[in-house]
A = this chain, B = another copy of it.
Amino acid sequence: MQLGMIGLGRMGANMVRRLLKGDHDCVVYDKSETAVAELAKENAVGTGSLSEFAKRLTKPRAIWLMVPVGAVDKAIADLLPHLDRGDILIDGGNSYYVDDIRRAKELTAKGIHYVDVGTSGGVWGLERGYCMMIGGETDVVRSLDPIFATLAPGRGDIPSTPGREKGGTAEQGYLHCGPNGAGHFVKMVHNGIEYGLMAAYAEGMAVLHAANAGTRSRAVDAETTPLRDPEHYQYDFDLADIAEVWRRGSVIASWLLDLTAGALSRDSALSEFAGRVSDSGEGRWTIKAAIDESVPVPVLSSALFERFSSRGEADFADKMLSAMRYAFGGHLEKLAKS
């Protein structure tokens, strides 16, 4: 079927490529003429303005927005004058599901259908397919099925879940999760889990990495806790090999572990990384949702706060601790200036 794509960054462009391979017609637009020209060479219909973009699409239009989260509302506002009742707007970015609820309400009043799609797969999606979590009206989502079916990974060689008989598109890698916002809600939690998984591997690797702590001598002063049993910490582990062996038959095998094994294989000291870890919103929103729901999420929140700390955001609290220690114990030696 025909799909219009606005936003030809890496994600948007690769989705168009996967759709073209699947024999869909793609009309594309981006502020960057180069990006449009690039895809036009690959048989997409390139357009130079939103007006032209809208004209090249058959009504009712199906338009996929793949723009940064902070740019979605403006993109919709710019596009609206060119749309007609019955058109479908799909937000495939990382929107906060609360915005989806608001937008759907606003667009419904204008006769425009809104679909929110949380997309996972990163830079690997072109090849592996995109896992999609979808929110919106049932009929509207169903009408887009050819698009989702092509973008999704499909069954591939992933074995069926034993005992699962209900079928459905989940086994193809896309799912209509519920009404508007449902897609990005599920994607939000997906990323919250992702933070937790990543932190679990990272902390475990750090424990292995420091397993030679007994070979180093610690300062002997009142400010340093001595290691009681240095003979228990004499291991120099090969982290790349360990990640590799866990990929085979262990309980913790996963795609993130595959990537970890690759990263450690290239450089087990990870020396090219500074360790300032960004977060892109979903982890935060997951914790906020959990708080609203009264659901305890100590692991997911710890993972989020670890990222904050990695960027120096704990500095003031840490100084406060040092100031207190100085106040009651006279721990002068930790003054920055000395």
The chain B residue sitting closest to A290, CB to CB, is B207
A142 CB to nearest chain B CB (Å): 15
Task: Please provide the 5 A-B residue pairs with the shortest distance between their CB atoms, ordered closest to farther.
Answer: A196-B200, A254-B254, A275-B318, A173-B248, A274-B336
CB-CB under 8 A for A200 and B197, given A128-B249, A295-B308, A305-B301? yes
Considering the complex, which residues of chain A in the window 172-190 have a beta carbon less than 8 Å from any beta carbon of chain B? 172-175, 177-179, 181-182, 185-186, 189-190
A251 CB contact (under 8 Å) in B96, B152, B153, B194: B194
Considering the complex, which residues of chain A in the window 285-311 have a beta carbon less than 8 Å from any beta carbon of chain B? 286-311
A185 CB contact (under 8 Å) in B97, B172, B235, B248: B235
Across the interface, do B196 and A129 meet the contact criterion of CB distance under 8 Å?
no
Complex contacts, A245 vs chain B, CB 8 Å: 131-133, 169-170, 173-175
Copies of this protein chain in the complex: 4
Complex contacts, A70 vs chain B, CB 8 Å: 220, 226
Across the interface, do B232 and A101 meet the contact criterion of CB distance under 8 Å?
yes
A71 CB to nearest chain B CB (Å): 9
A334 CB contact (under 8 Å) in B181, B209, B234, B278: B278
Across the interface, do B203 and A292 meet the contact criterion of CB distance under 8 Å?
no
A130 CB to nearest chain B CB (Å): 6
Complex contacts, A174 vs chain B, CB 8 Å: 245
In the docked arrangement, what's the CA distance between A266 and B335, Å?
Answer: 15
Q: Is A331 an interface residue (CB 8 A)?
A: yes
- Chain A, interface size: which category? 35 or more
CB-CB under 8 A for A284 and B254, given A235-B185, A324-B202? no
Across the interface, do B292 and A233 meet the contact criterion of CB distance under 8 Å?
yes
A294 CB contact (under 8 Å) in B170, B287, B313: B313
Across the interface, do A322 and B273 meet the contact criterion of CB distance under 8 Å?
yes
Across the interface, do A318 and B253 meet the contact criterion of CB distance under 8 Å?
no
Across the interface, do B244 and A101 meet the contact criterion of CB distance under 8 Å?
no
CB-CB under 8 A for A204 and B190, given A237-B178, A321-B277? yes
A34 CB to nearest chain B CB (Å): 19
Across the interface, do B202 and A318 meet the contact criterion of CB distance under 8 Å?
yes
